[in-house]
C-alpha cells in the first residue's frame, strides 16, 4: 500500500512536554505539520515560570525549543487558551491528531482548617511572584513583616523557595528574577524558615544537588530540627537497604544535623548570619491558626514512621509563622469540553488516562498531565519522545485518527476574536525583555502583565 501522507498535529501547551513531542515528531517525519497552542502570550511553561531564576543552566533548554520553532512546518499560537478561547471540539475538527501537553494548572490542597487565611500561599503563587508570572503578581506578601516562614512539603520546589527567600538579593539581581521581589527581599525581616515533612528523613523528595546548594548559602545557617520528636539516625546497616543515591542523601542530612546539634549557633550576631533554616520531620499539618484572618501558626500532629508505616500520635506541636507555603504538588485539571469528547480524566491523580501516551483515536498526551506532576525536564523529555513515537507508529500502521479537515490553523482562525501571538511576536517581546533587563544589569526583565507584553506588539 502507499505511504500515508504526513499528519497535521495540534499540540496544546508549549512547555517541555509540548516542545519535546514536536521535536521527536519532526525527527520521525520532517513533513509533519505542527500547530502549538499556548494559553499565555509567551512560550515555555514552567521553564519560564517555575524553574528558579538562579538556575539559568536549566533554562538553557529554551535554546533547543527555539531551534524547533524555526521549522517551516511549525506554528506557535500564543494567547489562545484551548477550551476557553476556542472550543476543544472545534480544534478536533481540523487536525489528524491532538497532543495534550498542558501541564498542571492547579495545586493540591492540604484540606485542613485555616488553609484560606491570609498569609497561606501555594508554591505556585510564590514561585510565580518571583518569576514575574503575570497571574501571580498580587500575592500581597510583605517580606518586611515576615519573621517566620513555614514551608510544608519536602521536594525540590520547597528548596527552591527556601533558597530564593534566604539568598542575598544582590546575588539574584543579574538573573531574570522579578525586580519588585528583589526590592522586597532587601527589606526582608525573615529570621527562621522551616521546611516541614510528614514522614521521616529517609522519605524526603528533594535531591542532593538542590540540598547542597541550600547548605552552602553563606546568608543563612542550618539549624538542627527543633520540633521533630523522634529523630532517628540510621546505622550503616540500616542504610544498606537504600539505593546509592538515597543513601548519600540520608547521610548528608544526618551529618549536617549532627553538626548542627554539636555546634549550635553562637549568640554573637557578628559570627552568624541572622537567618536560619531547618528541616522538620514526622509532622502532619492539621490546622492553620490565625488572628483577624491572618495566619499566626501551624499546628502539626506528630507522626512516627516505623518500617515505612506512618502512625499518628496524640502529640501536637505548633510552629509560629506569618506566612505558610503549601508546597505539596501541582495538579492537572481537565480542559472544558474534554468529557464531551469522551476523554477519560482521573481527577484524583490529575491525569488523562492513557496507554503509552495514546488516549483515543487521534488523541495523545505528554508531560505532567500524562504522568502527574513528577519528574524533571529530562524525564519529561524521554516520556514525550515515547508519546511522539507512539503517535507516528500508529500513523504508519494506519490506526484510526481524527477525521479532521487537515486545515489546521486555517480552519481555526475564523473562530477566534482575540490577538494571537506568533513566534515572531514572541521574539519581539523577548527583545524588549532583554532591553529592559539591561537597565539594571540583569539578563532580562520579564513583563509582569500580559497587557504590557501585548502592547509592544501593538495588539
* Residue number with CB closer to ligand FAD (58 or 239): 58
- The cell numbers describing 150, all together, are 513555614
* Residue number with CB closer to ligand FAD (160 or 200): 160
Please state whether beta strands 120-122 and 363-365 pair in parallel, antiparallel, or not at all (unpaired): unpaired
* Residue number with CB closer to ligand FAD (39 or 149): 39
Cβ 278 to ligand FAD, closest distance in Å? 21
Cβ 104 to ligand FAD, closest distance in Å? 6
Is 85:416 a contact under the CB 8 Å cutoff? yes
* Residue number with CB closer to ligand FAD (195 or 257): 195
CA distance 252 to 206: 12
The H or E element that residue 435 is part of is helix 423-438
Binding stretches for ligand FAD (CB under 6 A)? 12-18, 37-40, 45-47, 50-51, 55, 58, 81-83, 101-105, 127, 157, 160, 330, 335, 367-368, 375-377, 380
* Residue number with CB closer to ligand FAD (6 or 40): 40
DSSP 360-373: ETTEEE-THHHH-S
Burial 357-379 (b: 16+ CB within 10 A, else e): bbbbebbbbbbbbbbbbeeebee
* Residue number with CB closer to ligand FAD (40 or 188): 40
Cβ 268 to ligand FAD, closest distance in Å? 36
CA distance 62 to 47: 8
How far are the Cα atoms of 18, 90, 185, 200, 319 from residue 87, in angstroms, in the given order?
19, 5, 42, 46, 47
* Residue number with CB closer to ligand FAD (319 or 381): 381
* Residue number with CB closer to ligand FAD (129 or 330): 330
CA distance 382 to 5: 26
Cβ 20 to ligand FAD, closest distance in Å? 8
Cβ 110 to ligand FAD, closest distance in Å? 17
Is 279:197 a contact under the CB 8 Å cutoff? yes
DSSP 101-158: -----EE-----TTTTSBTEEEHHHHHHHHTT-GGGS-----GGG--EEEEE--SHHH
Cβ 376 to ligand FAD, closest distance in Å? 3
CA distance 62 to 67: 9
Cβ 432 to ligand FAD, closest distance in Å? 20
Cβ 75 to ligand FAD, closest distance in Å? 14
Is 199:281 a contact under the CB 8 Å cutoff? yes
Amino acid at each position: 500500500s502507499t505511504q500515508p501522507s504526513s499528519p497535521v498535529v495540534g499540540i496544546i501547551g508549549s512547555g517541555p512536554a509540548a516542545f519535546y513531542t514536536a521535536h521527536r515528531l519532526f525527527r520521525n517525519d520532517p513533513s509533519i505539520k505542527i500547530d502549538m497552542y499556548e494559553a499565555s502570550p509567551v512560550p515555555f511553561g514552567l521553564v519560564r515560570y517555575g524553574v528558579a531564576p538562579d538556575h539559568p543552566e536549566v533554562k538553557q533548554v529554551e535554546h533547543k525549543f527555539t531551534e524547533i520553532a524555526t521549522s517551516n512546518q511549525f506554528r506557535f499560537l500564543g494567547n489562545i487558551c484551548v477550551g476557553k478561547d476556542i472550543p476543544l471540539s472545534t480544534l478536533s475538527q481540523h487536525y489528524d491528531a491532538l497532543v495534550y501537553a498542558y501541564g498542571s494548572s492547579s495545586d493540591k490542597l492540604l484540606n485542613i482548617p485555616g488553609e484560606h487565611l491570609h498569609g497561606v500561599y501555594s508554591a505556585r503563587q510564590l514561585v510565580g511572584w518571583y518569576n514575574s508570572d503575570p497571574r501571580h503578581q498580587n500575592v500581597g506578601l510583605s517580606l518586611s513583616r515576615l519573621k517566620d516562614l513555614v514551608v510544608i512539603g519536602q521536594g525540590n520546589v520547597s528548596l527552591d523557595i527556601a533558597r530564593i527567600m534566604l539568598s542575598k538579593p544582590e546575588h539574584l539581581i543579574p538573573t531574570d528574577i522579578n525586580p519588585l521581589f528583589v526590592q522586597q527581599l532587601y527589606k526582608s525581616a525573615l529570621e527562621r524558615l522551616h521546611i516541614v515533612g510528614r514522614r521521616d528523613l529517609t522519605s524526603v523528595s528533594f535531591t542532593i544537588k538542590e540540598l547542597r546548594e541550600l547548605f552552602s548559602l553563606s546568608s543563612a545557617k542550618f539549624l538542627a530540627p527543633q520540633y521533630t520528636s523522634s529523630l532517628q539516625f540510621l546505622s550503616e546497616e540500616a542504610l544498606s537497604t537504600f539505593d546509592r543515591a538515597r543513601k548519600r542523601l540520608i547521610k548528608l542530612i544526618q551529618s549536617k544535623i549532627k553538626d548542627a546539634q554539636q555546634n549550635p549557633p553562637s549568640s554573637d550576631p557578628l559570627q552568624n548570619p541572622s537567618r536560619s533554616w531547618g528541616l522538620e520531620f514526622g509532622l502532619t499539618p492539621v490546622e492553620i491558626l490565625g488572628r483577624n484572618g491572618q495566619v499566626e501558626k501551624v499546628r502539626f500532629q506528630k507522626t512516627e514512621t516505623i518500617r515505612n508505616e506512618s502512625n499518628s500520635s496524640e502529640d501536637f506541636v505548633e510552629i509560629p509563622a506569618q506566612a505558610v507555603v503549601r508546597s505539596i504538588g501541582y495538579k492537572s485539571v481537565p480542559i472544558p469540553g474534554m468529557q464531551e469528547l469522551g476523554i477519560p480524566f482521573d481527577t484524583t491523580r490529575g491525569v488523562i488516562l492513557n496507554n503509552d501516551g495514546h488516549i483515543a483515536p487521534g488523541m495523545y498526551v505528554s508531560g505532567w498531565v500524562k504522568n502527574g506532576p513528577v519528574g524533571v525536564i529530562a524525564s519529561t523529555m524521554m516520556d514525550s519522545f515515547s508519546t511522539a513515537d507512539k503517535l507516528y507508529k500508529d500513523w504508519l500502521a494506519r490506526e484510526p485518527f481524527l477525521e479532521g479537515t487537515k486545515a489546521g490553523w486555517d480552519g481555526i482562525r475564523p473562530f477566534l476574536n482575540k490577538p494571537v501571538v506568533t513566534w515572531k511576536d514572541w521574539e519581539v517581546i523577548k527583545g524588549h525583555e532583554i532591553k529592559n533587563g539591561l537597565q539594571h544589569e540583569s539578563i532580562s526583565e520579564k513583563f509582569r502583565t500580559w497587557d504590557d507584553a501585548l502592547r509592544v506588539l501593538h495588539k
